[in-house]
Amino acid sequence: MFEESAARSMIKAVSWRVLATLTTTLLVYAFTGRTDLAVTIGLLEAASKMVLYYFHERLWNRLNVGRKPIAGSHPTGVPALASPTGMTDTLTSPDPTAVAEAGRVLETDTPLEILRWATDRYGPRLTFATGFGAEGCALIDMVGRHRLPVDIFTLDTGLLFPETYDLWKRLETRYGITIRRVGPELSVEQQAAVHGPELWAREPDRCCDMRKVTPLVAQLSQFDGWITAIRRDQTDRRADARPVEWDEKFGLAKVNPLVRWTTRNVWAHLLEHDVPYNPLHDLGYPSVGCLPCTSRVNAGEDDRAGRWRGTAKTECGLHANVDGATEVGHAGVRS
């Protein structure tokens, strides 16, 4: 029986060797004129995904069949979760009970260890929805610097600050990654034509639902796990959050690598690694969302006092519980 570390090392070595061979072959074809560069890039992307799944996920799962978990070890010390649905006929969605147990075992792990665990378990069926808050930038840094295979997207309402759009580009350039744009069904102009101008000022909940919540639901239906940037010290409802937990609202595993961190931890990480962040944070905007609904926070006010100022609304609803109670929204400093 293979030891866990030896087995993983062998699998990764085989994966990289196969990928290197494929890459060399495809590049030779490209530079000798047998195929064009665009086709080569497409083939390389497909080859990478194939190697990641077939040589890493499936081979590891086969080696793991029938093995008893090693106490205190990862990932075999954590209940094995089902592989991504849709990849083969035998794969199923993650089990809520196993997810809950994984959250207990991962309690003392670092954010990077939790991210690595999640990528091992979910592979291409793992995603990260970022709103480019300070916490989100810290997670993007970990994913980018360590080349973790995580899909990343953002909800572009069409109403973000210019500084947020600029940060989006800077993060992609810094880490050589692509952060997918996910937008609502209607453009801002189309929404105004159908529902009247400045819906956010008249019916902010409805606007958030159309431009944020509905697109998120559609995206998460395609994945088995999603990464968030929530922390226990953000709200009372998050005080009991686990590193991994079952998301009843969206029906998939919710991975919270920063759950034990504080604001101090987040900013220490950003400064230590020179991570790009939104300059609005330095100008009195601790929580940054859509431009029409975000204002500067005055001394002594709560961090989210500048969101939907003048209304009773304080949340966008992305982290609403199944009973309708809401938490801190994704498009702020806490995401």
The encoded tokens of residue 179 equal: 């952060």
50 and 93 fall within a common domain: no
More reliable by pLDDT, 166 or 82: 166
Phi, psi dihedrals of residue 155, rounded to the nearest 5°: -90, 105
Question: Do the domain assignments include residue 157?
Answer: yes
Residue 170 CA: distances (Å) to CA of 43, 158, 176, 334? 27, 18, 10, 19
Question: Do the domain assignments include residue 122?
Answer: yes
Q: What is the pLDDT of residues 205-241, one digit of tens each?
A: 999 999 999 999 999 999 999 999 988 887 677 777 8
Domain boundary among 39, 67, 95: 67
158 and 40 fall within a common domain: no
Q: What is the pLDDT of residues 255-297, one digit of tens each?
A: 999 999 998 999 999 999 999 999 999 998 888 999 988 888 8
Rounded mean pLDDT, 192-217: 93
Q: Kindly report the pTM of this predicted structure.
A: 0.68
159 and 89 fall within a common domain: yes
Domain boundary among 40, 67, 94: 67
153 and 14 fall within a common domain: no
More reliable by pLDDT, 328 or 182: 182
pLDDT of residue 69 exceeding 50:
no
pLDDT of residue 203 exceeding 70:
yes
211 and 290 fall within a common domain: yes
Question: Do the domain assignments include residue 73?
Answer: no
Active site residue 316: yes
21 and 94 fall within a common domain: no
pLDDT of residue 20 exceeding 70:
no
When divided into structural domains, the chain yields a total of: 2
- Find the domain containing 38 and state its range: 1-67
108 and 57 fall within a common domain: no
253 and 213 fall within a common domain: yes
CA-based end-to-end distance of the chain? 42
Question: Would you state the pLDDT for residue 266?
Answer: 95
Contacts of 59 (CB under 8 A, 6+ apart): 11, 14
29 and 163 fall within a common domain: no
Residue 80: helix, strand or coil by DSSP?
A: coil
Determine which of 56-70, 129-143, 259-273 has the lowest per-residue pLDDT on average. Answer: 56-70
Which is catalytic among the residues 137, 208, 293, 316?
A: 316
Question: Do the domain assignments include residue 115?
Answer: yes
Question: Do the domain assignments include residue 75?
Answer: no
Compute the distance between CA of residue 7 and CA of residue 143 in angstroms, rounded to an integer: 24
Share of the chain above pLDDT 90, in %: 49
23 and 144 fall within a common domain: no
Rounded mean pLDDT, 300-325: 63
Domain boundary among 11, 36, 67: 67
pLDDT of residue 103 exceeding 80:
yes
- Across the beta sheet with 244-247, the strand order is 180-182, 151-155, 126-129, 225-227, 252-255, 244-247
Contacts of 133 (CB under 8 A, 6+ apart): 229, 278, 287, 288, 331, 332, 333, 334, 335
Question: Do the domain assignments include residue 33?
Answer: yes
More reliable by pLDDT, 210 or 306: 210
Determine which of 28-32, 250-254, 305-309, 331-335 has the lowest per-residue pLDDT on average. Answer: 331-335
* CATH number of the domain encompassing residue 323: 3.40.50.620
Q: What is the pLDDT of residues 77-101, one digit of tens each?
A: 444 343 333 333 323 467 899 999 9
179 and 57 fall within a common domain: no
Mean model confidence pLDDT for the chain: 77
212 and 129 fall within a common domain: yes
More reliable by pLDDT, 74 or 177: 177
Question: Would you state the pLDDT for residue 3?
Answer: 43
Question: Do the domain assignments include residue 58?
Answer: yes
Rounded mean pLDDT, 141-159: 97
Question: Do the domain assignments include residue 74?
Answer: no
DSSP character for 75? Answer: T
Within 10 Å of residue 54's Cβ, how many Cβ atoms?
13
